[in-house]
Chain A
Amino acid sequence: MNNTIKNYSIFIILLAGLVIAIIMAVGFGAVRIPAAEFIDILFRGIQTEHSTILLQIRLPRVLLCLVIGAGLAAVGTVMQGIFKNPLVDSYTLGMSSGAALGAVISIVTGISFSIGGVSTTGVFAFIGAVSTLFLVYNLAKRKNAMSVNSLLLAGVAVSYFLSAIISFLMLLNQDNLQHIVFWTMGSLSLTSWSKVVISYIIIIPGILALLFYARELNILTMGDESAQYLGIDVEKLKRVLLVICCIIVGAVVSVSGTIGFLGLVAPHIIRLIAGSDNKKVIPYSALLGAVLLIASDTVGRTIIQPVEIPVGVMTSIMGGPFFIFLLRKQR
């Protein structure tokens, strides 16, 4: 019973945190919008001088932050579960860089088509994420055995390599520089409602699908072999989960560029307070990821106005030291 109460309180605190973060994020900026006015505009439909800023700029941005943060955190949780290591996430395995490279290639080549309403950039980002993951996984794998160290090393190496290619492409395409920088640093400044809608359509079902496999993910912590003994088709499970992760990461990167360390930090904090059960860690991490990303973005765009710090820079500034802390603690 005690556990149930604890669970509910964690959930309620996270939800309250999310609401507060949204209100703050909408309110703060070049123009301050008080909470009362926010409610007037949103719920009573009253037009004020800030209506456009709120409805066309800040609200979509905050909502996008929410779903991206949640998506990255859920993906981080699941990838840590798959690879049984708390240092793994979409960023450390180079998936984000791969997705960014995919996006950059679509920009510089100018290829443009649309598959089922998903933008070219999104498709390229997804392909980039999948192929990078595939590459890193196979680089790290040796004779059916894979050590997590080699996985991280391969991830870092591939990440560097891909970043170098992105830089090279930037050098050759000075015209698109601004656009490319956006992908590499991770930014939410070019938000539109259509991006918000597409992200929700892809990411929310993605998170729910991951949640669907929470029990299997728990068992995976016993080790791949033991998980098989307990009745799980481990290779199939990993493939399914990694594809879902790639779709989410592709969707995230195609609207926001690469945002680092969020997927690493959020699940870790949740595990410290709520334990390791993925039935809780996935949804709670998603909530925390949303809160953290909204907060980082708000700080990033208000702290040294009028300059806006890209959100990817903000999360890396905060996440980097945390990563080092985890690394040292692991030894």
Chain B
Amino acid sequence: MINQITLKELSFGYDDSLGLVLKNISLDFPKSGFTSIVGPNGSGKSTLLKLISGVLKSRQGSIQINGIDNMAIHKKEAAKIMSVVPQNTALEFDYKVMDVVLMGRYPYISRLRGETPKDREIAIENMKYTNTYHFRERSFNQLSGGERQRVILAQALTQQPKILLLDEPISHLDLQHQIEIMSLIKKLSIDQQLTVIAVLHDLNIAAAYSDYIVMMKDGEINSQGTPVEALNVQNIKNVFNIDVEVEVSVYTNKPYIYAITRNEIKKNHVKVHVICGGGSGSEIISNLYNTGFQVSAGVLSIGDLDWKISKDLDLKLAEDIPFTRISEDAYEANKRLAEAADFIVLTDLYIGKANLCNLRMLLENELENKTIFILGDETFEQRDITEGAATGFYNRIKSKKNTRIVSRDEMYSILNKAGASNE
């Protein structure tokens, strides 16, 4: 693969007394494709972009564009290869949209001849592409933020670049315009085979549109890779110092990041063991976990939705491979967790031959005095797919003295009381 932009051991500081803003950065940007640079404020991502564009000069290391040092390229030639869309643009003196877009032809226009019909043609083509042609006669400063960014994008494309640099191009826009501009840029990177490098604030937008992510912290590259590789829980915690949940969409294989406020959770010492599976326990597990209970679960099939959540939350867990009868080991592990718990919850899971022994376990002598909450009693018959084998166990569990048939709300309210008195 040919690399269009290559950074080698690049370091930079604005002021000697203030230390380095970028430290020893080496990076290859692949030819064509969408790369996002993300990171907290002050991590050096905009500085990196300014160095690549040649506005700032590097002190150490090199930046090569197609094998040539970027400072050795004449400004006009550089403008033919690379264009830049800044955060936002306001003009002190007002110009018509058409004139602003035509400025993009500057590197191609000879001083004496002026612009040719071909220059206008290219400008018009790009205005149509960015959906700005219909307001070509309006003055730039009267446009909305989103329209302006589209005009600036049209101007950048009129330079007919191979590389498009964007410095937080959407941070002043509302959601609709953010999506509009990002979709347009993504389309460009595919249609025109552009190398797009964007500094972005919003991790989810970066994840949704990028082919490649570079995550920076304190002037260094912390991690890089595809969105799924780079934007994982641990990397984000390292870089942004926040707890997040990352959900990878099964449709797009793109991660989606949620910020969570786990620090505010008041922990208590009440242990709850949840017998679940097939997604029947997910909500209960996360609710109990997020209100401070010490939650365990079992026996769960590996890859099951409840299993995944328990893993994500790092819970104590009895697990087994799917589609087989629960093994002796898993059964024992489940029993131990149940014994250790203060409360046991039996969710409205489907009972088949494979997980039948989850019910049997509840009748063990060791659990004689445990409080067991049964959820979804009214639907049990539909969930019993053992042709009646489960019903015997189930009725015996129901008849135990400490078993309580409850709704979810009732269960939460009893548990919360227990939790509050045991913080």
B93 interface neighbour in A221, A229, A231, Cβ under 8 Å = A221
**Would you call B53 an interface residue if the criterion is a C-beta within 8 Å of the partner chain's C-beta atoms?**
yes
A223 at the A/B interface (Cβ < 8 Å)? yes
> Is B79 a contact of A226 with CB atoms below 8 Å?
no
Please name all residues of chain B whose beta carbon is closer than 8 Å to the beta carbon of A216 when the two chains form the complex: 106
Chain A nearest CB: distance from B19 CB in Å? 15
User: A318 vs B282: C-alpha distance in the bound complex, in angstroms?
Assistant: 78
What B residues does A80 contact at CB under 8 A?
Answer: 93
Q: How many A-B residue pairs have CB under 8 A?
A: 74
Contacts of A134 in B (CB 8 A): none
CB pair B93 A271 closer than 8 Å:
yes
A43 to B104, CA, bound (A): 50
Bound together, the chains give a CA A120 to CA B89 distance in angstroms of: 46
**Interface residue? A230 (CB, 8 A):** yes
B89 touches A226 (CB 8 A): yes
Contact with A along B75-98 (1 / 0, CB 8 A): 111111011101001011111100
Contacts of B86 in A (CB 8 A): 223, 225-226
B103 at the interface (CB under 8 A from A): yes
Q: Are B92 and A228 in contact (CB under 8 A)?
A: no
B279 beta carbon closer than 8 Å to chain A: no
Residues of chain B within 8 A of A229, CB atoms compared: 53, 55, 79, 82-84, 156
- Over the window 251-268 of chain B, the binary record of Cβ atoms lying under 8 Å from chain A Cβ atoms (1 yes, 0 no) is 000000000000000000
A228 — which chain B residues lie within 8 A by C-beta? 53-55, 75
Contact status B92-A85, CB under 8 Å: yes
B94 contacts across to A, CB distance below 8 A: 275-276
Q: How far is the CA of A218 from the CA of B103 in the complex (A)?
A: 8
A177 at the interface (CB under 8 A from B): no
Q: A81-B93, A215-B106 are in contact. Are A231 and B99 (CB under 8 A)?
A: no
Contact mask A203-243 → B, CB, 8 Å, 1/0?
00000000010011011011101101111110000000000
Known A225-B86, A226-B84, A229-B53: A276·B107 in contact at CB below 8 Å: no
Which residues of chain B come closer than 8 Å to A225, judged between CB atoms? 55, 84, 86
With the chains together, A84 CA to B93 CA distance in Å?
Answer: 7
A310, chain B: closest CB distance, angstroms:
32
B111 at the interface (CB under 8 A from A): yes
Chain B positions within 8 Å of A, measured between CB atoms, are 15, 53-55, 75-80, 82-84, 86, 89, 91-96, 99-100, 103-104, 106-107, 109, 111, 155-156, 159
Of all A-B residue pairs in the complex, the 7 with the closest CB atoms, nearest first, are A231-B79, A276-B93, A231-B107, A231-B76, A229-B84, A84-B92, A221-B93
The 28 sampled A-B contact pairs (Cβ below 8 Å) are A80-B93, A81-B93, A84-B92, A84-B93, A218-B95, A218-B99, A218-B103, A219-B103, A219-B106, A221-B92, A222-B91, A222-B100, A222-B103, A223-B86, A225-B55, A225-B84, A226-B86, A229-B82, A229-B83, A230-B79, A230-B103, A230-B106, A231-B76, A231-B79, A275-B95, A276-B94, A276-B95, A277-B95
